[in-house]
Each structure stands twice: as C-alpha cells, then as structure tokens.
Structure 1
C-alpha cells in the first residue's frame, strides 16, 4: 500500500546536507521562492505544502488535527526521501512543526530556525472561531484580508494570496484546530538543537515578543529581528531572512572552511585578509570560507596536493600571477616540492602558452627564493 506524501519540491545536490522548509497557514511552498534557490547552493532543500494547500491532498489531515500530526507527515516525507537527519526552518504553523520536532524527535534534527512563529498562538478560541467560519463560509473572505495579516502596507505577493484563496477549506480549518491546541511553552527549556528565532518587526500575528519568549527559554538560542517585515518575512524581506539562515545553517561549513583556509594559506595571509574586510566585502569573505574552503577544499575526492596542482594550472591559464604566488606558498604547505611545482608550470607552457608559463616561473621563483632566505610569510 502506497502512503500519500506531502507535496514537495527538492532543490540542490542530493549529496548536500538536507534542509526542510515549512510554510505558514494559507500559503504553499512558494513562500520560499526567493530564499530556497539560494539555500540550495549548499543544501539539499526540500520545501513542502500543508495538507489541502498547494499540491498536497486535503485528506492528509482531518478535524481535530494537531501540530504533532503535521510533524508526523513531515517525518514520513523525510523517510520517503531517505533523509535521516536534517536542518529545519518553518514559518508560523511551519515553525510550530519545527518546535514539535525539536521537542519530540530531537534525534532527527541537526538545527532549527523558527520564523515569524510562536510557542503558542494566543489561545484556542480565535482559532476555533476561524475554523468554524471557514467550514461554514469557505476561504474567500479570509483571502481578501490576507495582505493586511501577512505584509506591511502596500506590499503583496499575488501568488501567495491566490494560494490562500485556493486552499481546501476543510484542511485549512483542520490546521486551525492544530494551532488552537498548540502550546509548548512549558517544554522550551528541553530543546537542545541549535536554534535560531527570526522575527518580523512589523508582524502583528506573532510579534517579536513571541520569538523573544522562545529565545529566552531555549538554551543557547539566537534571535534576529528583521525591520520592515511583517508575518511572511521570507517573501517580504528575503535577503535578510537568507542572510540569517545562511549564518545559522552554514556555521559549521564556515568554521571548517576557515580552519582549512588557514592550514593551506597560512595564518598571516588570512589575518591580513580579515583585517582588510569591510561591510562591503564581508559577504564575499564569508563566501570564500564557506564554499571554496568549507566545501571544495574539504572534498576528499582529491588530495590537497592534487588540488594545489589544479589551482596552479588554473591561475596560470587566467594570468592571475599575484594569486599564483600565494598558491605556490600553499602548494609547498600541501607537500609539493620545488621540482614538482616546476613540473606543473612546465606543463602549463604546453597547454596555456609559453608567455604565461614564463610569467608563472618568475612569480614562483620569487616565492621559492623567499622561502630559502626565510623572507616569505
């Protein structure tokens, strides 16, 4: 018997660390359209639709549903995709699912980001009233007021408003039942996975105080407030949300990348690069540490010796002789002898041209001479 899964979209390489993205009530996975493609550069991103929303079947949920029921559907999706442990970020109801997973299935999470959400949603009564209204009258009226609930004045995302209007009323009402019953304040202190809280400073539904309450209770949690963002921050302020999530989910790669960068290039060079860093260049420096050094140079497919040979050749081919000098020093740290470096540069004379190799030999000779006299850094 085939079990129906939540509708989902996967992006990024299958070998990358998995990251699941959860939506808010009334939206689809399109909520993450301006964030997920960027995150997929370093993650296997899987974004999913709530039951009765987007492409997910309404029958996956029923009256009296709980956030735990939704979390079970997310775990079933992860299991079907062969994902044992994953990072998770969710907005509003999707964030509540993340909190439930962190409390009841911590062995499945590597890290958590809760975006414009809460440990409780202001009591059961308003959600029971909304569920009854939707079961009685459908979603047209609520969809008409979506912009005011979701965005700052003058901003809208027509696709998300359309998704709200097209959602299944019964499944939407069941999600309201889940929000009515949700309150995990008493358990927040037990959450042990690395946790980030992201608040929209203009959010009337889950204002910053709700996120601050979680941050104060979860050991080691961090809180980021985004100016000019209301309830659907990933749609309204995607760049700010992306920066926060990259910092949180990519911290391990950045830390590892910086360590490898220092091992290969030397502390003196990296210290100089860091000292020259400005707000304008900070993201580029982060990119270099995270992707070039944290992912490419740590890939065990090639040894560091082999990577140095490839790098020297590429730098000669493009005439980057200042960078070449730096990587001649790196090649020596990676175990290449002067004779081996010379052989690599001789190879470039055949395939990159004699003038390029001539300049490369001159740059390399200066570095090797400095090494002999102890003047190199």
Structure 2
C-alpha cells in the first residue's frame, strides 16, 4: 500500500465483479465485517478506510477537505487495482462519496447503494462545531457519545467504538469539513446508475426522511427501510442489509447461501467464509451458486431425500470429514438417527461392509456430539 492511497482489504475472486464498500465517519472497514465476507461469494469486495481511520494515513486529506477529495481517493485506489468500473455501497460519509461518484463520475459506477446517509447533512454549522471541538480537545468527547449516535439503546460494537477513539483527530476534523460542505440535492435527478437506498428506522443521525428524499429524486431508485436499525445498520442488522444489497447488486437474494446455511448451519458456513482466501474464493463461489443455489434448491427431491443420497455418495467415496458434516446436515433436514442408520446399513450392501463400518463410526460420533449439545 502506498502512502497516497487509502488502506483497503480485498475479498473474493479477482475475476468477480468489483464492489467497493465505504464506511462512516469514525469507523474503519470493520463496519462491514458481518456483510463483506458474504458479498464476496459473488463479488470482489474492496473495503476502504477513510483518511486517519483504520489503516489509512491521516495526511490523505487536510483542513477544508471535500467529499470530492474522498471520491478522488476511491478512484485512485480503483485505478491502482486495475478496476475501471465498479459497484459501490457506502454508509453515511461513505454513502455521500457514492452519491458524488454517481453524479460526477457515472462512467466508473455500475450500481450504487447508499446506506444510512444523506444528500446533505443538516447544514454546515454542526460539522464546523464538531471539527473545532475535535481540533481543540481530540476525539474523546465525541467518541464518548458514539453509542448514542450510532445504535439503539443497549446495543454496541466495541470494535467500532474503539475505531472512533483511535481515529486521527486532524483527519477526522477534515472529514467533518467535508460533511459540512456537502449538499448534492440539486444534482440527484442526474444520477442514472441503478440506485438503492437503505434507511434505518431508528436512525437519528440520517433519519429515513433523508433517504426518501434521495429515492424521490433519483430516477428509478429503490428504498428499503430496516426496522430496529439505527445509523450503523450493517453492524446492527447485517442480515437485512445483506439481503437488500445482494438483491440490488446481483439480482438475487443470495438463495444459495441461504440454503447452505439452513442445511449446514451458520457455524460451519461462518468458518468456511472466514477461511476464504483469494485462492479459494472461486471455489466457495462455485459451491454457493451451483451446489446450493441450483442443485439443493431443485424441488424435484426433498432435502431429506438429498441428504440420504449425499450420505450414500460420501460413504462410497470414503470422504469421512464431509460425511460427518452431512450427518449433521441430515439431522437439520429432519432425518432421525434411526433413518440415518438405515441409510448406512443400505450402503453396506452396495458400497461394502468396510466402508459402512467406517461410516457408522463417524455417524455415531457425530450423533453423540449432537445429543450432548442438545442435552
């Protein structure tokens, strides 16, 4: 990473459609931790940090900075990665950057999602006052109220609050300058890229009315309001945000991943996603799209029947690790231990007694573990 570019993290296959994710003032790209890994099944996800936030250098901007300056950093990062055209989603200040790109650089943006953001941020004065406070006293006074501004009562994400405390005061104040000067309302009708607005019903910082204003002005825009979500919706209501973004960017609700989770369980899929690397990303994408999005969703066979077939195939091939996983999946799909035993007994006839013997040992261990957890 060079000093004149934002710090970033790339996830997903290098050949997948690129999707940039921008964060809000005071947070790092950790804001997207519960959403980005899932989006990377279909996209090359590039999360970037605002100047002075996360891993980005504070001197990328200075006093009097504008949203145009931040948008320029995104374009420079895209150029450095060899990305000509990309989808973009951003929260709050990150969303303002997306609006600027869609207005001023439409040739670079394929699709836009603006999350808990606005075409203006209630005038310059509040941001000028906050910038002055931070320049004078540092971030401690502002960070102390982060939970109240970002989340509903009783909810917090310690990592994000710590990001706020750790941000560079000068860069944070410069970002406040950018918010103070931002007002793009008169240019909204010129946006031509497919646009989604996501509002948090409990968002006091950028209330749903701000997102409705954008939706009413951008031709063909869609609006989703998330009950129970405050300002940092991707952290507080990640599943709802993920569903909306997938439908917008991929034209799908991500049904393959949904079925994969229903059959294998969240814990297994979360581990698989956490282990994903650029080397394995295309394989994970293949599994989600083909195995779970096409074969397991075919209604010709029930999930119970598919579990029986899968168990038999795994016994025949001696894939014991996969067999253990699919014994658990068979239980999720409604098979009783007796039915699983009957399937394995059938494999003794057609796959061989030694194969069935090993399979019974694996299944017995898994079912005992399941009973232990359940009890």
TM over 0.5: yes
Is 1:70 the counterpart of 2:65? The answer is: no
Q: Which residue of 2 aligns with 1:120?
A: 120
Q: Following the alignment from structure 1 to structure 2, what is the Cα–Cα distance between the partners of residues 215 and 230?
A: 19
Pairwise mapping of residues 59-138 of structure 1 onto structure 2 (< 5 A)?
59-138=59-138
Structure 1 unaligned blocks of 5 or more: 258-276, 282-286, 298-313, 320-351, 357-377
Q: CA deviation at 1:243?
A: 0.6
Q: Which residue of 1 aligns with 2:160?
A: 160
Q: CA deviation at 1:195?
A: 0.3
Is 1:169 the counterpart of 2:169? The answer is: yes
Q: CA deviation at 1:95?
A: 0.1
Residue by residue, what CA displacement relative to the aligned partner does 1:28-74 show, whole Å, maximum 9, x if unpaired? Answer: 00000111011111111010110001110000000000000000000
Q: CA deviation at 1:5?
A: 1.1
Q: Following the alignment from structure 2 to structure 1, what is the Cα–Cα distance between the partners of residues 33 and 254?
A: 25
**What number of residue pairs does the alignment pair up?**
282
Q: Which residue of 2 aligns with 1:232?
A: 232
Point out the structure with max Rg over C-alpha: 1
Residue by residue, what CA displacement relative to the aligned partner does 1:151-198 show, whole Å, maximum 9, x if unpaired? Answer: 000000011111101111110000000000000000100100000000
Is 1:291 the counterpart of 2:289? The answer is: yes
Q: Which residue of 2 aligns with 1:8?
A: 8
Structure 2 unaligned blocks of 5 or more: 264-284, 296-309, 316-346, 352-375
Q: Which residue of 1 aligns with 2:179?
A: 179
Q: CA deviation at 1:4?
A: 2.1
Q: Which residue of 1 aligns with 2:364?
A: none
Contact 1:96/1:119 (<8 A) preserved? yes
Q: Following the alignment from structure 2 to structure 1, what is the Cα–Cα distance between the partners of residues 206 and 4?
A: 32
Q: Following the alignment from structure 2 to structure 1, what is the Cα–Cα distance between the partners of residues 217 and 288?
A: 30
Q: Which residue of 2 aligns with 1:243?
A: 243
Contact 2:66/2:179 (<8 A) preserved? yes
Residue by residue, what CA displacement relative to the aligned partner does 1:292-328 show, whole Å, maximum 9, x if unpaired? Answer: 299999xxxxxxxxxxxxxxxx999469xxxxxxxxx
Q: Following the alignment from structure 1 to structure 2, what is the Cα–Cα distance between the partners of residues 148 and 253?
A: 32
The 3-state SS of whatever aligns with 2:209 is: helix
- State the superposition RMSD in angstroms: 3.0
The 3-state SS of whatever aligns with 2:54 is: coil
Contact 2:22/2:48 (<8 A) preserved? yes
Q: CA deviation at 1:288?
A: 11
Kindly tell me: are residues 288 and 42 of structure 1, through their superposed partners in 2, closer, same or farther at Cα, counting changes over 3 Å? closer
TM-score, length of structure 2 as denominator length = 0.69
Structure with greater contact order relative to length (CA < 8 Å, sep ≥ 6): 2
The 3-state SS of whatever aligns with 2:101 is: helix
Kindly tell me: are residues 252 and 79 of structure 1, through their superposed partners in 2, closer, same or farther at Cα, counting changes over 3 Å? farther
Is 1:32 the counterpart of 2:32? The answer is: yes
The 3-state SS of whatever aligns with 1:247 is: helix
Kindly tell me: are residues 142 and 3 of structure 1, through their superposed partners in 2, closer, same or farther at Cα, counting changes over 3 Å? closer
Q: Following the alignment from structure 2 to structure 1, what is the Cα–Cα distance between the partners of residues 91 and 287?
A: 29
Q: Which residue of 1 aligns with 2:267?
A: none
